[in-house]
Structure 1
Amino acid sequence: MGLAGSGPAAADAGGRGIRAAWREAGATTRQLVTVRALRSISQGALAVDFVLYLKSLGWNATAIGLLLMGGSLAGAGFSLLIGVASDRLGRRRFLLGYEAALAGLTAFLLLTRSLTVLAVAAVLFGFGRGANGTAGPFGPAEQAWLAQDLPPRHRGPLFSLNAAASFVGMGVGAGLAAGFARLAPWLTGWRLTPYTAIFWLTAAIAALNFYQIWVLPEQRPSRPAAAGRPAVETRLRREENRDLVRFGLLNAVNALGVTMVAPLLPYWFAVRYHLGAAHIAPLYGLTFLLAGPLSLAVGSASARVGMARLIVLLRLVSVILLALLPFAPSFGLAGILFLLRSVSNQSTFGVRQAFGTALVRNERRGLAAALNVVTFNLPAALGPVVAGWLFDRGSFVLPFLLSAGLQLLYALLFERVMGTATRRVETV
């Protein structure tokens, strides 16, 4: 990949690594990592149990896919508005609004048990989509705030640390989902089910995160350095816009590939091997827990090897494993393939976020993060519907092959499409 990660700053970042990035991060940055880690606990539980909950209510795979599609479309629309607005108005108020709405609506859901409220909450907050701790459509504001005070050499390591904390939280949440499933007989005495226990968990964590964000100070995004030089500003914006469009097109290909089967995998495991949350949730938990340390390793290596190179190499590994998964004759072998595939794919999550935010300057990072969400969520809305329709017709292999093919295309195109931006981003 040529010059990727070969500059003196990259070597310096490699020497500093994850620990140095954390030491030099400000208190606000550290608190945002903590907030996301806590949020990921509830999302880890929902990533496994929400789809199984809908299945227990009699929803088929197509109906579940349509609900997930609604969440993707809503996320795309709100993310663009919030990302642009957060560049002008600041990030904090939007995250406070997210946590307050999540806590309130989830608590209301527990009181009403209404399917309409359940569907609205799922659409607005992405229940079941396994968002790795992101703040749903408010994620662009959080992502831009996290990157705001980080020097370029620390973005790859710190974003990978942020992702690692999220994966550990997702693992803990998946473990809680398994625990709730096994404690079902005792929960009934408290008028709870394994699924409503998870909604209580979600509401409580949202309330705690609201307080944590409330006490954080915020420095508003500064004006562009080139604001007094119209010609320079125009050139810089043109370059940034070009890179954002290219990255967005790649992101769309990746999104359609990833979401073709990923959100419905708990359903697929349940139907294919006739198992429930007590078996599926521990597998997800172990996957997330292993993805955390590997994400740290990828973040540390990104300064030496290059962010783009690691993204491509690990994606190629995950493509091969995904293509083999539907042919596994037993849950044990399928679980191993799923674990290895998920870990290799998820470990680049933080690096991919860091790469996307580095394409623009600080005052446009809310917009960049929003476009990243939009270009992911729009095609992601289609993936679960297609896979659900095929599952309902007994096709349990074709969705996996379509997903692997699209992700392979993403890996092969990444260097060609983002070559110029890669050299600029990774030699800063």
Structure 2
Amino acid sequence: MNVLTSSNHSLVKCKGAVSRVRVVIETWRGIGRLNPVAKTLILTRFMRSIAQGAMGVDFTLYLRARHWSAPEIGLLLMAGGLIGSLLSLWIGISSDRVGRRRFLLVYEAGLALGTLLVILVPSATLLVLVGGVFGFGRGANGASGPFAPAEQAWLAQVIDTKRRGSVFSANAGLQFAGMGVGSLLAAGLPHVLPVKDGVMSYLPLFFLTLLVAVINAVQIYRMKEVRADTQSSTDAVNRSHQDEKILAARDSTLEDQIFNKFDTLPDAAEQERSARRRENGALLRLSIVNMINSLGVGVIAPLFPYWFNVKFGVGPEAIGPVYAVTFFLTAASSLLVGRLSRTYGLMRAVVIPRIAGLALLIAIPFSMNFSVAAVLYVLRSIVNRSSVGARQAFGVGLVRDSRRGFASSLNAISWTVPAAFGPALGGMLIGIGSLAEPFVAAFALQLAYIVLFPLLLRRYTTEAV
């Protein structure tokens, strides 16, 4: 009997493994069938995530090697968030009007130039300026800083609505894989140059960022963009032709046609106002829950390498592999969440992983050694970050294509502004020797997010697909 039970368990495990492999294969095939613009956007974000993965591990350690204190590091990370917030709303709205390609091109070219200046003139002022604008050390999972709303809106525009949830989850999975590659590089980059100076040993980190920015700039320059308003105009023309055929077929007087034409104008205007009110209400609710969540995440997440270093005395050789394992496993779980979103809906795909992540988060500061803390961190990051694609798909699905740049920028602001203040608060707490309180604050805020997200946004689950 025990043998049969054991065999059944083994069979179930094998089926589960086969199912997971099928998810990966289907995801890769799905990406391969995307149009060239979507594939290039996904590729450039993957490349960007490699550089950001290395920067996410080593940047705060680099600043500590330059004798920056925890509060100073927190303020720099806060500056990056605030600068990004100020720019992202304008960029998102402008990208709806003038296109998205040029903004991404400006981002990559500016990142390349700014990083080159930091390499040549590594002054504190220049580091604050470039690091603030481009979010050094914030671990943005491949996002293009304040230009991310344009990038996200462009990707949503070129993907079919029914596939958006799975493609965004697959995109998130690739981003995490890139962050994992970058985290592995972070463990070895400080040992590439034969120098003893702790500050100079981190120089390859900036060379990697420069190289990726140049490659991405070339890729984006070669892309072609069909603007959303052009597509809308084409659709409007087609609808107009259809209407003309219908009117021509009707046996009605000219006066009736004129009357019907003017009679439909108020109805159309009212429908537009009603649609905007509905969309604005959804965006307001999403912004509220995003602000609570982002403040909770920002209190400790960007400072984890610094916290590990202060708490356990470990460096990039130990932290880098932990981050790499985290991102690789998160990439796999993101693909599974993509299937979860198709099966159970985006709402459950967002909430369920966050509940498990909350329990793991509060256990980390009470770990007795680095190994235990690292395992808890890995598990927490997997379940927490795996819902990123589902959250992105939910957000862009709340509005029509013509407003997705605005929605993405508003979503970015509601995330980046509170998240910007998080590291300053966390750095202040760590600076006075309090290593557990940042986790307690993060726990309380993220618990509120888990409760409020379904409470405020459940009514929009049928629209955000």
* Structure of higher RCO (CA pairs closer than 8 Å, 6+ residues apart): 1
**Counterpart-to-counterpart distance in 1, 2:385 and 2:118:** 31
Match of 2:448 in 1: 409
Q: Deviations over 1:19-62 (max 9, x none)?
A: 56424421100010000000001000000110011111111111
Aligned-partner residue type, residue 329 of structure 2: L
**Corresponding position: 1:305 with 2:344:** yes
**Corresponding position: 1:210 with 2:224:** no
Match of 2:68 in 1: 59
Match of 1:137 in 2: 146
What displacement does 1:189 show? Answer: 10
- Alignment: residue pair count: 410
**Corresponding position: 1:69 with 2:78:** yes
Match of 2:312 in 1: 273
**Corresponding position: 1:28 with 2:28:** no
Specify the SS of the correspondent of 1:127.
Answer: coil
Identity %: 44
Match of 2:204 in 1: 197
Q: Deviations over 1:240-277 (max 9, x none)?
A: 00000000000000000111100111110000001111
Match of 1:4 in 2: none
**Counterpart-to-counterpart distance in 1, 2:420 and 2:110:** 23
What displacement does 1:424 show? Answer: 2.5
**Corresponding position: 1:396 with 2:415:** no
Q: Deviations over 1:338-387 (max 9, x none)?
A: 00001111111111111100001111111011001100111112111111
Quickly say closer, same or farther: Cα 1:20–1:361, change in 2 above 3 A: farther
Match of 1:322 in 2: 361
Aligned-partner residue type, residue 52 of structure 1: L
User: 8 Å contact 2:66–2:199 — kept in the other structure?
Assistant: no
**Counterpart-to-counterpart distance in 1, 2:175 and 2:181:** 10
Q: Deviations over 1:264-321 (max 9, x none)?
A: 1111000000111111111111111111111011112211111111211100100000
Specify the SS of the correspondent of 1:425.
Answer: coil
**Counterpart-to-counterpart distance in 2, 1:189 and 1:263:** 27
Match of 2:12 in 1: none
Specify the SS of the correspondent of 1:129.
Answer: coil
Aligned-partner residue type, residue 76 of structure 1: S
User: 8 Å contact 2:65–2:199 — kept in the other structure?
Assistant: no
**Counterpart-to-counterpart distance in 2, 1:192 and 1:264:** 19
**Counterpart-to-counterpart distance in 1, 2:352 and 2:31:** 26
Aligned-partner residue type, residue 379 of structure 2: L
Match of 1:5 in 2: none
**TM (normalized to structure 2)?**
0.85
**Counterpart-to-counterpart distance in 2, 1:89 and 1:54:** 38
What displacement does 1:191 show? Answer: 12
Aligned-partner residue type, residue 327 of structure 2: F
Quickly say closer, same or farther: Cα 1:399–1:17, change in 2 above 3 A: same
**Counterpart-to-counterpart distance in 1, 2:42 and 2:204:** 25
Root mean square deviation, CA, Å? 2.0
**TM (normalized to structure 1)?**
0.92
Match of 1:249 in 2: 288
Specify the SS of the correspondent of 2:299.
Answer: coil
Match of 2:94 in 1: 85
Aligned-partner residue type, residue 417 of structure 2: L
Quickly say closer, same or farther: Cα 1:191–1:326, change in 2 above 3 A: closer
**Corresponding position: 1:121 with 2:121:** no
Gaps of 5+ in 1: 1-13
Aligned-partner residue type, residue 230 of structure 1: A
Match of 2:163 in 1: 154
Gaps of 5+ in 2: 1-22, 240-264
User: 8 Å contact 2:92–2:405 — kept in the other structure?
Assistant: yes
**Counterpart-to-counterpart distance in 1, 2:60 and 2:435:** 17
5 Å-filtered alignment, 1:331-342, equals 331-342=370-381
